[in-house]
Amino acid sequence: MPVSVFDIFKIGIGSSSSHTVGPMTAARRFALSLADKQLLPAVQRLQVDLFGSLALTGQGHGTDRAIILGLLGESPDTVDPDAMPLMLEQVRASASLSILGRQAIAFAEKSDLVLHRREELPRHPNGLRITAFGADGQPIDRETYYSVGGGFVVTESEFDRSADVSEELPFPYHSATELLDIGRNQQMSIAAIARANEEARRSPAEVDAGLTRIWQAMQDCVQRGLAMDGSLPGGLGLQRRARQHLLALEAGKQERHAELLNPLAALQWVNAVAFAVAEENAAGGRVVTAPTNGAAGVIPAVIHYLARFASETGQTEIFNFLLVAGAIGSLYKENASISGAAVGCQGEIGVACSMAAGGLAAALGGSNAQLENAAEIGMEHHLGLTCDPIGGLVQVPCIERNAIAATTAINACLIALRGDGRHLVSLDKVIATMRQTGADMQAKYKETSLGGLAVNLVEC
């Protein structure tokens, strides 16, 4: 069953959908369930156990901070990124926290937030378990959560249950082939199919309002990222570059090589926007998960390209882009994965590129077959891409990778629009190949920072 576009695109905070947004959501869910079960007054201690990738790269990705904020009752879509440092400082300085602001307990990160770096829970590399203890030191409640990518969180019992099985949609599908068949039989575009499914979940006005909110959040993020200077947090000393790219682009009109640079202006613009979002994400700012935080710059960069360089781009084209990109992202979520910890970076940057290529093709008036082709090309050339973030931070190679994938998505779209939609490798085949490649990939290349660039950086 296709996942809603509003689950694929979620407003959250950096730096990672699976390691920040997901764990915050899980911690908040646990706190709310304690309240629902009326157990809150009995809780005297909490212990949070992080396993696998969450333990290995969680500190660089802000998992520890996210857990604390979630237990306080904060949600990724509403927490004020500027207020977070003070909230965390108060918990750390007092070695205590107030669950949902209602039950104060001692909380010492060293002993109550336990990292199991050599141990994985059986169902997914991103596992966490939260246990509440009563006054007698005995557990009174416990839950295991898996952060399965893109900010999605499931409990142990929910893991095998496919999302929203009870949902009745006018156009259910499980593969790109089925989606294309619906389009052919109903004489509908994929954007129209995706919209009809969304309108079965909420009113047309709510769909429009939700899409407007997503696009506005993307634009706000780009504006903030383009205005910022200085180094990113985390210890690598990496400087923000989005603003410099923008300034160079504007100054380029007067440069000696203006005639050479001008034809590449669109490319430079895409780079600046992708950097702006990826740097905001790395700094823990407000971003739209698309479909993950590590890859959050790709789709905004391509939509900004569309809005700036394609004439006659209006709200309809942007909404169609988001609806189609969401439908494509849903196919990956159902049939492979959008988690770097499960399948490597092909599942994050590769999926974002595929979604952006298909979305752009739809916005530019491509046929269903052409946009399926564009989405396929976008993934085909990311197959095997590993995840090896240096220092466990979503910075290198992640930030540049967003810019490279955004420009690849535009090229994938151009290639597809030059054809008639007929092509050898189908989107379904490339999704299956991505899943199999991810399964064959050595664990050290799946968001552990134990391989690749993460271990080969020469320290000066």
Residues that bind ligand SF4 (CB under 6 A): 294-295, 340, 345, 348-349, 387, 389, 394, 397-398, 401, 447
**Residue whose CB is less far from ligand SF4, 349 or 431:** 349
Measured between alpha carbons, how far is 271 from 402 in angstroms, rounded to an integer? 8
**Residue whose CB is less far from ligand SF4, 127 or 340:** 340
**Shortest CB 217 distance to ligand SF4, Å:** 19
Measured between alpha carbons, how far is 352 from 460 in angstroms, rounded to an integer? 34
**Shortest CB 18 distance to ligand SF4, Å:** 8
**Residue whose CB is less far from ligand SF4, 349 or 417:** 349
- Which residues are within 8 A (CB) of 304 and not within 5 positions of it... i.e. 6 or more apart? 219, 222, 269, 270, 273
**Shortest CB 340 distance to ligand SF4, Å:** 3
**Residue whose CB is less far from ligand SF4, 398 or 450:** 398
Are the beta carbons of 407 and 372 closer than 8 angstroms? Answer: no
Structure tokens at 19: 């390691």
**Residue whose CB is less far from ligand SF4, 48 or 387:** 387
The closest alpha carbon to 328, from 351, 294, 305, 350, belongs to: 351
**Shortest CB 100 distance to ligand SF4, Å:** 30
**Shortest CB 401 distance to ligand SF4, Å:** 6
**Shortest CB 83 distance to ligand SF4, Å:** 26
Are the beta carbons of 374 and 366 closer than 8 angstroms? Answer: yes
**Residue whose CB is less far from ligand SF4, 1 or 453:** 453
**Shortest CB 454 distance to ligand SF4, Å:** 9
**Residue whose CB is less far from ligand SF4, 198 or 348:** 348
